A and B are shown apart, each in its own frame.
Chain A
Amino acid sequence: MSHRVPFPFALLRFWSRRLLPMWAFVGLVIFLMQIAVCAIVHDNASVKNFLNFLDVLPAFIKTALGGEMLQAGNVPGLILIGYQHPLVLFLYMLFAVGVPTTLLTGEVQKGTMELILSRSATKTQVYVCASMLTLAGMFALVLVMFLGTVAATRLYDFGQPIPLDLFFRIAVNGGLVAGAAGSIALLAAGVLAGRNGAVGVTVAVLVLDYFAWIVAQWWPSLGFLKPAALFYYARSPELAHGWPLGDMSVLLLVILACTILGGVVWQRRDLPL
């Protein structure tokens, strides 16, 4: 007779506490980044200087930060710089790559996975714990980013109403993009034996994806690459008017496919204990 193994909440709690300092640090930097961007944006003189500076730099940098949305007076477009600033994207990537590889391949390499799996925790449950922390952590970071914008609108006067509902939609959609990045890392951690391999593959995929998106925007003949890039969905044109349900479905599909595939391979393969 088969006995059902209870869900390992103790492991979930233990891992959450170990990740909390890293999550809090990344969250704090992202939060402060939004405040800093809004501090610059609410001052017209600073905005003009900043835009003049951007015009001096190669065009793809302006493209990466928002492209034609970056106009003096277009306050929402300027605030969005904080949502796609390279530092913010780097921090997201750090968390997305770091969490599943630390929890899955990291514990395997440390030898502690053998102990975890020798207790009452199935391989699938362990993978689910890592998935929950990765996806929930990524989504929560995006909400912290939105809270940074909300806090900035209370701190600074922009001379015009700030459409927070738009930013909320962007944040939720961005949460799905971040979750998709996390699910790619989960897939790598579930499939690959070593932590370095999993980190390397995930970073390579995300960097290529990012540059495919930049190049596709900058070079019209490569526009067909856009839908293949995760970052394309972060800036869905439909966001200005409502929820981009089609794009969100694509992102959800990527999250589900990568997470489930990683879980299936993780369950089936012998871990290098």
Chain B
Amino acid sequence: MATLEVRSLTKWYGPVLGIEGVSFALERGEIFGYLGPNGAGKTTTIRCIMGLIRPGGGEVLALGEPVVSGRATRHQRMGYLPGEFRLWPGVRAGRSLRVLASLGGGDGARARRLQLAERLELDLDRPVGQLSKGNRQKVAVIYAFQHQPELLILDEPTNGLDPLVRQTVLDLIREAAQQGATVLLSSHDLSEVGAVCGRAAILRAGHLVEMGPISKLVQRGEHRLKVWFLDGALEPPVPLGRLPGVRVIEQQPGLLHLAYPGACDAVLRWVAQFPVDRIATPQTSLEEAFIQYYKTAPPPAAAAGAEPAPKGNP
């Protein structure tokens, strides 16, 4: 049984589309990346999952129970980190966290809270209004993790954190998953999604345009080829007309850096005509793949429903 299942979720804000036909399922212990630019519908999806807004269609099953808007479905066992985390400015961070933890029992949350504060080097005795942006984000991380939830919904969890703390947060996410928690990680930082997630989905203008293992998503983008020619060799002009989709990233005396889609056969055959010193195939990053999806993905109307969500994909 999936820990989190989203089925054909749709939400319109009056005439404006939030999301349409979004479906995916997360298994126990999985870290799932949820990618998309601003306004793509990530936060709308997350708020529907948390029952904070009422979807226009579709349904969400959290920990096996259908989510009903405003009914706090399974919230006792869920951790949530909103994209914009705001607390009562005059109240001490520790007290705010204690109050929120106690909405839902909060048994054992104190010990975990103190442990997390120590690990993130955060003083919980200071009023939230006096904390820096980064420290407020640490409070947000503690808020999401303090009651050891089984399902974590994290919207930009490392926003505003320095690289060291960011690593600690990513470690926390990995540890939670190792202990069996399921994590939905919405992020703009593709490197962190690539670092911790097994699978990811890409959202564009409210529609899911791609979903699958990170390695597969990366492969579906452009590939790279760097060719160093032997000294004194002629710099061959690239016959772009004969190599569809190929583009030149960099061309210097003795060096050619190409990007190509799909199979490398045609490119290699052309390169083999020249005296080659060595070649390299730089790894395409998730970020590059992401940009490619946005350049090449079909318009949202065509993409809607074109990507049936694979269920139980590890």
- Chain A residues with a Cβ under 8 A of chain B: 1-3, 5-6, 8, 10-11, 14, 110-112, 114-124, 267-268, 270-271, 273
Contacts and interface: CB of A to CB of B under 8 A. Distances in A.
Interface string B72-88: 10111010101011111
A63 B54 CA distance: 51
B50 A118 contact: yes
In this complex, the interface size class of chain B, counting residues with CB under 8 Å from chain A, is 20 to 34
A268 B68 CA distance: 11
Contact of B70 (A2, A11, A14, A117): A117
A102 to B, nearest CB: 11
A273 B52 contact: yes
B88 A267 contact: no
Nearest to B81: A118
A115 B100 contact: yes
A271 B82 contact: no
B290 interface: no
Contact of B100 (A119, A267, A268): A119
B103 interface: yes
B47 A273 contact: yes
Interface of B is mostly: loop
A118 B75 contact: yes
A4 to B, nearest CB: 10
B56 to A, nearest CB: 10
Contact of A110 (B65, B82, B88): B88
Nearest to A2: B65
B71 interface: yes
Contacts of B72: 5, 117, 119-122
17 contacts: A3-B65, A5-B71, A8-B103, A10-B99, A112-B86, A112-B87, A115-B82, A115-B86, A117-B72, A118-B75, A118-B78, A119-B75, A119-B104, A120-B103, A120-B105, A121-B75, A273-B53
Which 4 residue pairs spanning A and B have beta carbons closest together? Answer: A120-B104, A111-B86, A123-B70, A119-B103
B64 to A, nearest CB: 8
Interface of B: 47, 50-54, 65, 69-72, 74-76, 78, 80, 82, 84-88, 99-106, 143
A270 B52 CA distance: 7
Nearest to A109: B86
A14 B99 contact: yes
B293 to A, nearest CB: 29
Nearest to B144: A118
Contacts of B70: 117, 122-124, 267
Contact of A10 (B75, B84, B102): B102
Contacts of B100: 115-116, 119
A120 B99 CA distance: 11
A207 to B, nearest CB: 31
A11 B100 CA distance: 8
A116 B103 contact: yes
A116 B51 CA distance: 12
Given A2-B65, A115-B100, A273-B52, 14 more contacts: A3-B76, A111-B85, A115-B80, A115-B85, A116-B103, A117-B52, A118-B52, A118-B82, A119-B100, A120-B104, A120-B105, A122-B70, A123-B70, A270-B69
A112 B88 contact: yes
Interface centre among A2, A114, A119, A273 (most CB of B within 10 A): A119
Contacts of A11: 99, 103
Contacts of A3: 65, 74, 76
A63 to B, nearest CB: 43
Nearest to A120: B104
B65 A114 contact: no
A122 B67 CA distance: 12
A115 B65 contact: no
A121 B74 CA distance: 10
A1 B74 CA distance: 11
Nearest to A118: B80
Contacts of A6: 105
A120 B50 CA distance: 11
Contact of A120 (B47, B52, B75, B143): B75
A20 to B, nearest CB: 14
Contacts of B102: 10
A115 B52 CA distance: 10
Contacts of A10: 99, 102-103, 106
Nearest to B106: A10
Nearest to B11: A270
A242 to B, nearest CB: 44
Given A110-B86, A112-B87, A271 B103 contact: no
Contacts of A267: 70
Contacts of B47: 273
A202 B251 CA distance: 70
B87 A115 contact: yes
Contacts of B52: 114, 117-118, 271, 273
B235 to A, nearest CB: 58
